[in-house]
Amino acid sequence: MNHLLLRYIKLIVEPTFEDLKNNPLSPRHTFLACMATYHAIDRAAYRKHPGNIRKDWCTESVDFFVVDVVTHHIKHVLSDKEEDALIGDGLLLASIKFDDQKIGPHKDALAKLLTDQGRLDIKMVPGVVQNAIRFLLGKAGVSSEYWPAPV
């Protein structure tokens, strides 16, 4: 069991996700929940190189992949997995448009999270974050079967 990762999830990720559940259309709460979830990688990678874990986790989990993209999109204006098709200031998640050449094995799964215009549907993000947390709990060596009730 990875106690560093589990403690981070319990103290930081889960409460931040609760804030997102209470404010599901808030760009701020979405960013914070995605950022907290994404940075669990640092706890899992303690004394290792997080870039390798990032690559693996983004391949293993479409939800972690989306959390990665949202985090880097809001922090850096564009993530490295997007088309350079920015709308406005990039703070609206509806401006995220995935680059088909950079989404790896997730094309079909991502299609369910997009609007008719091919951009990320913000209403889908709380469920994505929840699934990413379940993924992290598994990485921490904990069963996530009953965590939490569905969004």
Query: Is residue 109 a part of any domain in this protein?
Result: yes
Is 84 inside a domain boundary?
yes
Q: Which residue has the tokens 């290792």?
A: 48
Range of the domain at 55: 3-139
Which stretches of 6-136 are assigned E, i.e. beta strand?
none
Q: Is residue 145 part of a domain?
A: no
**Looking at the domain assignment, is residue 147 inside a domain?**
no
Note down pLDDT in tens along the chain; length 151 residues.
Answer: 788 899 999 999 999 999 999 999 888 899 899 999 999 987 777 667 666 788 889 889 999 989 988 887 766 555 656 555 555 544 556 566 666 666 778 888 888 888 887 778 888 999 999 999 999 999 998 877 656 645 5
Residue 7, in any domain of the structure: yes
Cα 92 from Cα 54, distance rounded (Å):
24
Rg (CA), the chain: 15
Count of structural domains within the chain: 1
Q: 89 lies in a domain?
A: yes
| Residue of 72, 74, 82, 87 whose CA lies nearest to 39 | 72
Give the residues across from 114 on adjacent strands. Answer: 120
Is 86 contained in some domain? yes
Closest CA to 108 of 140, 65, 54: 65
pTM: 0.83
pLDDT score at 90: 47
Q: Is residue 146 part of a domain?
A: no
Quote the DSSP letter at residue 84: S
Q: Output the pLDDT for position 107.
A: 81
